[in-house]
């Protein structure tokens, strides 16, 4: 008998490699990711990185100090688990802050949840509410994760584009000029529509949806009884005196909206990965369910520091000293700088109303990167890769923010991130100027 | 009705607000019926909302209660670990996004430590994924590799999240209990074993994976090489994956050795090994964990990760990397934290056991981990008048929290439906606690019998 066992185990070890199909079906069509590729390229080649969206300046001092205080204090329980749905000081201040912004009484325990970045907040929304048979309306161009998250949840993404209106002669295009066609949007709603993802201010265009545009969306949500996942991570980054309007404050919308926010964008600390959802308990309870069965707790110390940051901002709200006033002021200047740089060399910037992104039309630069008619890869992607390898300037192709079928609809634009130090933007300008000179000289 | 509201825009915001409020109310009334149905949760999370921790951490949050329930240390993490985090936070670029699948210096450090432990080459970029705690690794693994139609074997008692995670993936959990060998008086976690024939019976063509947890939470069992070989043989025979939760890998007590099932012949190719910074460095609030395995499995976990939260916090990962380098360099030295923590915990384990024994209880002495289970039926606490339809141990723990100001976790929380009755006389204590906490527990246990009902 022992002999039989021995020879059996030998043959078993020969078949050691798993032979059956491994990955779950839910991963189908979700494996490609633009960032994996472009982040690597930027890391390898870029001298000036205006690609991935993160600031190259530090978070504000008061936030860094709050973090150090949390870590070095007597209370070493800052290194242990906190409340799973959000560290109490943080959810309390978020409830206060958003309550003030929305004109509502919010309960920190049931109307707010803390997540690992806004990314995980989005994930909870899709997993809690989207399944096979559901359609999700996504406005193009969109932050790329909405599509794979819809698919991973078994849903069907339905795309509707923002369409550019030509600017008046001589004027630069604004993100305002990219608009939804109301009839086209209405045609996307049907009985299978479970949710629409709204991102305002919008990444990558920088569009800040107006009240009228939000009402258009809200009316359809109410009429078709659809949920709204409202990604508002750039809520504080609005320029030229524009107002960020929260769709949840529109009639009929609070009950069907999940608001998503991000400490990374709010406090220039993308590496902290602290985000949140705000909404009615009826929706939040299901987000908590997903959260407790996926990551459960978020890191404690960063939550404590963000809570301190919000406390300060609540006290300074509306004042010149507030970070929420200063940051957009600073970024607006940087935006204007970059707009000037790009315009001067013949790349046509679309002036963003918000976010720290700017999209520019690169049609004039076709000469450096020839068209390849049968190429699978969209033109702007090839252009962006050529640019980072040959000019050391990293940016992201706009086609990255479109669904597969639409990648060639707007394939001569690239996205720049301008949340960068003056020195970085100057260096970008130098590269662009030199490039222009190389093109014009014989 | 909806379009009429727009014509009022010109009357100014206030009038608009008034009319749309009225409009809103009427919409609410007409839509309320459909709203209740349409905004239902998805099937994947149906029935997964209750959770023993949400229930018991709330109850035990009262500071007057001696909390030996939830598994979190109240001892301080080593000072160099805290210092490294403060250092990392001071570097500007470490406050921004890092590599999605794991901060380069951290995956490098992990690959070095685990290469040494496993005796094989581990590629930091393809064989490792950094996640939000071991919890996140379990989730990524299950979402990546498990789906409807699959069965997943779970050994009871089990860390409670395995069951809802398997269900959320649409698969069927198949339970098999550890059984107490009726072998004399001493109770050690080693006395709890799997019946090999019973285990073999649980495997079939639908079995996609088995979840192994060694050292085991809650019992503290450290699976021996022979026990792991039984599992490995079945995994290979049935071409099954092994999800090996080894978060307590460094906490093994004298006379025991932690063995990685991935190092057994034929197992590397089919095993995901999960580890935890929280348990390794007593920093549960950092929520960093990792999955290690062959590229062809890890790549699917990476896809899940890039579509769920994308990247983990940077300063924490950098600090953890530095802490690992410090301890990697002294892995031959008994002062290495991996070993010194274990020694510290062993004396706490022994003290906890003594306290319980002196109170007339029979604790199950764990060979690893920082939990200890104990049979409380000998205390004969009559809770039959308690109305709630919960297992005995739930009622007992709630009673103990209220009347003795001592908390623990009921063991039936760690069991599948069939086995709850078998374990409902046990409760779990956590002993990774500072001396003053254990002193307070001692007082309560010594005085237990002094109070009349």
pLDDT (0 to 100) of residue A442: 59
Indicate if A312 and A388 belong to the same structural domain: no
Which pTM value belongs to this model? 0.92
Indicate if A151 and A239 belong to the same structural domain: yes
CATH number, domain containing residue A334: 3.90.1150.10
The token duo for B299 is 């790549």
- Chain A residues with CB under 8 Å of B169 CB are 24
Q: How far apart are CA B12 and CA A249, in angstroms?
A: 17
Quick one: which of A368, A398, A367 has its CA closest to A381? A398
What's B343-385 look like in SS3?
Answer: HHHHHHHHHHHHHHHHCCCEEEECCECCEEEEECHHHCCCCCC
Within-domain flag for B9? no
Indicate if A385 and A273 belong to the same structural domain: no
Within-domain flag for B359? yes
Indicate if B212 and B71 belong to the same structural domain: no
Within-domain flag for B121? yes
If one counts the domains in chain A, the total is: 2
Give the pLDDT band (50/70/90) at residue A251. very high
CATH number, domain containing residue B372: 3.90.1150.10
> How confident is the model over A20-50, as pLDDT tens digits?
778 999 999 999 888 888 988 999 999 999 9
Question: Among the three residues A289, A316, A343, which one is the final residue of a domain in this structure?
Answer: A316
pLDDT (0 to 100) of residue A33: 87
Within-domain flag for B16? no
Within-domain flag for A141? yes
**CA of B297, closest CA in chain A: separation in Å?**
8
Are the C-beta atoms of B5 and B19 separated by less than 8 Å?
A: yes
Longest dimension (CA), chain A: 91
- Chain A residues with CB under 8 Å of B270 CB are 16-18
Range of the domain at B210: 79-329
pLDDT (0 to 100) of residue A375: 84
Within-domain flag for B88? yes
> How confident is the model over A339-371, as pLDDT tens digits?
999 999 999 999 999 999 999 999 887 678 888
Q: How many CB pairs under 8 A join A and B?
A: 255
Indicate if A45 and A74 belong to the same structural domain: no
Within-domain flag for B2? no
Most A CBs within 10 Å, among B39, B82, B288, B296, to test the A interface: B39
- Chain B residues with CB under 8 Å of A295 CB are 132-133, 135-136, 139, 287, 309
Indicate if B62 and B94 belong to the same structural domain: no
pLDDT (0 to 100) of residue B15: 44
Indicate if B65 and B89 belong to the same structural domain: no
Q: How far apart are CA B429 and CA B449, in angstroms?
A: 19
pLDDT (0 to 100) of residue A123: 98
CATH number, domain containing residue A93: 3.40.640.10
Q: Which residues contact A174 (CB under 8 A, 6 or more apart)?
A: A167, A350, A351, A352, A353
Q: Which residues contact A373 (CB under 8 A, 6 or more apart)?
A: none
From first to last of its 453 residues, what are the pLDDT tens digits of chain B? 333 434 434 444 444 454 445 554 544 444 443 444 567 899 999 999 988 887 788 777 788 999 999 898 999 999 999 999 999 999 999 999 999 999 999 999 999 999 999 999 999 999 999 999 999 999 999 999 999 999 999 999 999 999 999 999 999 999 999 999 866 666 899 999 999 999 999 999 999 999 999 999 999 999 999 999 999 999 999 999 999 999 999 999 999 999 999 999 999 999 999 999 999 999 999 999 999 999 999 999 999 999 999 999 999 999 999 999 999 999 999 999 999 999 999 999 999 999 999 888 889 999 999 999 999 988 888 888 887 788 999 999 999 999 999 999 999 999 998 898 889 999 999 999 999 999 999 999 999 876 544
Any chain A CB within 8 A of the CB of B105? Answer: no
**CA of A220, closest CA in chain B: separation in Å?**
10
DSSP B15: H
The token duo for A263 is 């400490």
- Residue range A92-120: mean pLDDT, rounded: 98
> How confident is the model over A390-441, as pLDDT tens digits?
999 999 999 999 999 998 899 899 999 999 999 999 999 999 999 988 877 6
pLDDT at residue A149 above 60?
A: yes
pLDDT (0 to 100) of residue A12: 41
Question: Among the three residues B329, B353, B378, which one is the final residue of a domain in this structure?
Answer: B329
CB atoms within 10 A of CB A18: 18
Question: Among the three residues B276, B299, B329, which one is the final residue of a domain in this structure?
Answer: B329
Within-domain flag for A12? no
> How confident is the model over B398-410, as pLDDT tens digits?
999 999 999 999 9
Q: In A180-335, which ranges are E strands? A: 193-199, 227-231, 257-262, 275-278
pLDDT at residue A19 above 60?
A: yes
Indicate if B56 and B185 belong to the same structural domain: no
Decide if A271 and B34 are in contact by the 8 Å CB cutoff. Answer: no
Indicate if A226 and A80 belong to the same structural domain: yes
- Chain B residues with CB under 8 Å of A227 CB are 39
Decide if B38 and A16 are in contact by the 8 Å CB cutoff. Answer: no
Decide if B95 and A270 are in contact by the 8 Å CB cutoff. Answer: yes
Decide if B284 and A9 are in contact by the 8 Å CB cutoff. Answer: no
Please state the separation of Cα A416 from the chain's center in Å: 14
**CA of A351, closest CA in chain B: separation in Å?**
25
Indicate if B190 and B262 belong to the same structural domain: yes
Indicate if A308 and A260 belong to the same structural domain: yes
pLDDT at residue A200 above 50?
A: yes
Question: Among the three residues A292, A316, A340, which one is the final residue of a domain in this structure?
Answer: A316
Within-domain flag for A151? yes
If one counts the domains in chain B, the total is: 2
Indicate if B213 and B198 belong to the same structural domain: yes
Indicate if B294 and B156 belong to the same structural domain: yes
Indicate if A295 and A262 belong to the same structural domain: yes
pLDDT at residue A14 above 80?
A: no
Range of the domain at A422: 31-59+322-440
> How confident is the model over A272-321, as pLDDT tens digits?
999 999 999 999 999 999 999 999 999 999 999 999 999 999 999 999 99
- The average confidence (pLDDT) of chain A is 93
pLDDT (0 to 100) of residue A168: 80
Indicate if A259 and A394 belong to the same structural domain: no
Indicate if A186 and A254 belong to the same structural domain: yes
Indicate if B71 and B85 belong to the same structural domain: no
Decide if B92 and A116 are in contact by the 8 Å CB cutoff. Answer: no
> How confident is the model over A122-136, as pLDDT tens digits?
999 999 999 999 999
Decide if A255 and B316 are in contact by the 8 Å CB cutoff. Answer: no
What's B17-84 look like in SS3?
Answer: HHHHHHHHHHHHHHHHHHHHHHCCCCHHHCCCCCCHHHHHHHHCCCCCCEECCCCCCCCCCCHHHHHH
- Chain A residues with CB under 8 Å of B300 CB are 22-24, 27
């Amino acid at each position: 008998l022992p002999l039989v066992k021995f020879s059996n185990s030998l043959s078993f070890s020969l078949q050691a490699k798993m032979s059956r199909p491994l990955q779950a079906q839910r991963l189908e069509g979700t494996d490609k990711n633009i960032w994996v590729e472009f982040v690597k390229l930027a890391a390898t080649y870029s001298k000036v990185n205006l690609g991935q969206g993160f600031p190259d300046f530090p978070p504000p001092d008061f936030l860094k100090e709050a973090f150090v205080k949390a870590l070095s204090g007597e209370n070493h329980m800052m290194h242990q688990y906190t409340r799973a749905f959000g560290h109490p000081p943080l959810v309390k201040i978020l409830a206060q802050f958003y309550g003030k912004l929305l004109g509502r009484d919010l309960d920190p325990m049931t109307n707010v949840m803390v997540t690992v970045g806004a990314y995980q907040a989005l994930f909870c929304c899709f997993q809690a509410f989207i399944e096979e048979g559901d359609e999700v309306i996504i406005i193009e161009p969109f932050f790329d994760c909405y599509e794979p998250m819809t698919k991973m949840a078994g849903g069907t993404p339905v795309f509707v584009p923002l369409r550019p209106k030509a600017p008046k002669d001589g004027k630069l295009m604004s993100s305002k000029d990219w608009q939804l066609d109301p009839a086209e949007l209405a045609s996307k709603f049907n009985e299978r529509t479970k949710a629409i993802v709204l991102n305002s201010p919008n990444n990558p265009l920088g569009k800040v949806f107006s009240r009228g545009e939000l009402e258009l969306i809200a009316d359809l949500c109410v009429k078709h009884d659809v949920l709204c996942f409202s990604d508002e991570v750039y809520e504080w980054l609005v320029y030229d005196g524009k107002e960020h309007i929260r769709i949840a404050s529109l009639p009929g919308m609070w009950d069907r909206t999940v608001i998503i926010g991000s400490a990374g964008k709010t406090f220039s600390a993308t590496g902290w990965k602290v985000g949140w959802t705000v909404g009615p308990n009826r929706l939040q309870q299901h987000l908590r369910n997903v959260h407790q069965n996926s990551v459960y707790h978020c890191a404690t110390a960063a939550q404590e520091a963000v809570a301190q940051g919000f406390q300060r901002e609540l006290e300074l709200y509306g004042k010149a000293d507030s970070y929420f006033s200063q940051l957009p002021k600073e970024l607006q200047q940087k935006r204007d700088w970059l707009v000037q740089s790009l315009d001067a060399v013949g790349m046509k910037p679309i002036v963003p109303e918000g976010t720290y992104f700017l999209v520019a039309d690169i049609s004039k630069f076709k000469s450096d990167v020839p068209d390849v008619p049968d190429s699978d890869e969209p033109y702007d992607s090839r252009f962006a890769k050529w640019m980072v390898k040959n000019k050391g300037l990293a940016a992201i192709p706009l086609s990255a923010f479109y669904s597969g079928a639409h990648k060639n609809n707007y394939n001569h634009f690239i996205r720049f991130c301008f949340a960068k130090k003056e020195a970085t933007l100057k260096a970008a300008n130098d590269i662009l100027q030199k490039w222009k000179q190389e093109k014009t000289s014989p | 009705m909806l379009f009429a509201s727009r014509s009022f825009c010109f009357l100014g915001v206030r009038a608009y607000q008034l009319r749309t409020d009225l409009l809103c109310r009427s919409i609410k009334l007409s839509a309320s019926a459909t709203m209740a149905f349409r905004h239902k949760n998805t099937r994947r999370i149906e029935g997964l909302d209750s959770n023993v921790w949400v229930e018991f951490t709330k109850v035990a949050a009262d500071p007057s209660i001696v909390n030996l329930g939830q598994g979190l240390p109240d001892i301080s993490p080593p000072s160099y670990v805290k210092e490294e985090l403060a250092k990392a936070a001071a570097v500007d670029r470490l406050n921004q996004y890092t590599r999605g699948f794991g901060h380069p210096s951290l995956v490098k450090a992990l690959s070095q430590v685990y290469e040494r432990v496993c005796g094989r080459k581990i590629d930091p970029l393809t064989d490792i994924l950094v996640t939000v705690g071991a919890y996140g690794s379990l989730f990524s693994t299950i979402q990546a590799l498990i789906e409807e139609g699959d069965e997943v074997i779970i050994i009871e008692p089990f860390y409670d999240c395995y069951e809802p995670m398997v269900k959320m993936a649409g698969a069927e959990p198949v339970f098999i209990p550890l059984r107490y060998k009726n072998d004399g008086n001493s109770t050690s976690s080693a006395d709890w074993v799997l019946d090999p024939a019973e285990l073999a019976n649980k495997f079939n063509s639908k079995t996609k994976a088995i979840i192994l947890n060694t050292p085991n939470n809650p019992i503290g069992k450290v699976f021996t090489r022979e026990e792991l070989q039984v599992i490995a043989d079945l995994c290979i025979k049935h071409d099954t994956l092994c999800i090996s939760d080894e978060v307590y890998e460094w906490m093994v007590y004298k006379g025991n050795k932690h063995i990685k099932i991935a190092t057994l012949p034929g197992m590397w190719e089919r095993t995901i090994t999960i580890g935890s910074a929280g348990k390794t460095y007593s920093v549960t609030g950092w929520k960093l964990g990792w999955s290690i395995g062959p590229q062809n499995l890890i790549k699917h976990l990476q896809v899940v990760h890039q579509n769920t939260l994308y990247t983990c916090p940077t300063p924490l990962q950098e600090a953890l990397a530095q802490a690992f380098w410090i301890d990697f360099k002294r892995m031959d030295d008994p002062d290495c934290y991996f070993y010194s923590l274990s020694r510290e915990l062993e004396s706490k384990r022994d003290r906890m056991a003594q306290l319980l024994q002196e109170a007339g209880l029979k604790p199950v002495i764990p060979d690893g981990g920082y939990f200890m289970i104990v049979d409380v039926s000998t205390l004969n606490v009559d809770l039959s008048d308690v109305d709630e339809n919960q297992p005995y141990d739930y009622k007992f723990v709630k009673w103990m929290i209220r009347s003795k100001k001592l908390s623990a976790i009921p063991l039936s929380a760690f069991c599948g439906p069939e086995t709850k009755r078998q374990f409902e006389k046990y409760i779990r204590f956590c002993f990774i606690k500072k001396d003053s906490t254990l002193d307070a527990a001692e007082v309560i246990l010594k005085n237990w019998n002094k109070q009349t009902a």
